[in-house]
């Protein structure tokens, strides 16, 4: 909550949008919260995009291996997840689980050379196959 009047709040939002707003990266809503600072200014709430690929793996990260096979028309089927899940519960940085999943995916690519194989963080959907059809 703030003790700033609506006109002052709007001015802070406009200044933040002019200085910082970049579509899809840093976004400042027209109704963003304003918090007065102690040093002649205010904090303006913003949204910052973080891609899954930017996450550093750590303990508890899990990875799934997905595969899609071509049909008779050389179009890929809907991807399906292999039963094996690679988890980094005992891995301090999560890198060995990711490495194991990628090694497994590499083996699948050799076994099923015409198939689409992807490694994704558990809970994330497989990559779109629109570009692979």
Does residue 1 fall inside a structural domain?
A: no
Residues 64 and 101 in one domain: yes
Residues 37 and 76 in one domain: no
Give dist(CA 87, CA 27) in Å, integer.
Answer: 34
Q: Pairing between strand 62-68 and 42-44?
A: unpaired
Does residue 22 fall inside a structural domain?
A: yes
Residues 36 and 67 in one domain: no
Residues 84 and 25 in one domain: no
Residue 15 belongs to domain spanning? 6-48
Q: How many domains does the chain have?
A: 2
Residues 79 and 34 in one domain: no
Q: What is the DSSP letter of 127?
A: P
Residues 26 and 89 in one domain: no
Which tens digits make up the pLDDT trace of 94-121? Answer: 677 777 888 888 887 777 766 677 777 7
Residues 69 and 125 in one domain: yes
Q: What is the DSSP letter of 24?
A: T
Give this prediction's pTM.
Answer: 0.44
Residues 66 and 125 in one domain: yes
Residues 19 and 82 in one domain: no
Does residue 110 fall inside a structural domain?
A: yes
Residues 38 and 57 in one domain: no
Residues 119 and 62 in one domain: yes
Tell me, letter by letter, the H, E, C secondary structure of 69-101.
Answer: CECCCCCECCCEEEEEEEECCCCCCCHHHHHHH
132 falls in which pLDDT band (50, 70, 90)? very low
SS3 call for 13? helix
Does residue 95 fall inside a structural domain?
A: yes
Residues 19 and 59 in one domain: no
Which tens digits make up the pLDDT trace of 19-50? Answer: 999 988 899 999 999 998 888 899 999 998 87
> What local confidence, expressed as pLDDT, does residue 131 receive?
41
């Amino acid at each position: 909550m703030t003790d700033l009047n609506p006109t002052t709040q709007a001015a802070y939002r406009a200044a933040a949008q002019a200085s910082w707003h970049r579509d899809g990266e840093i976004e400042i809503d027209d109704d963003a919260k304003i918090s007065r600072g102690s040093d002649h200014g205010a904090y303006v709430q913003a949204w910052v995009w973080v891609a899954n690929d930017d996450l550093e793996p750590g303990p508890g990260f899990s990875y799934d291996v997905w595969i899609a096979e071509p049909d008779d028309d050389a179009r890929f089927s809907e991807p399906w997840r292999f039963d094996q899940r690679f988890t980094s519960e005992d891995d301090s940085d999560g890198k060995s689980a990711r490495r194991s999943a990628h090694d497994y995916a590499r083996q699948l690519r050799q076994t099923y050379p015409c198939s689409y194989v992807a490694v994704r963080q558990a809970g994330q959907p497989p990559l779109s196959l629109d570009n692979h059809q």
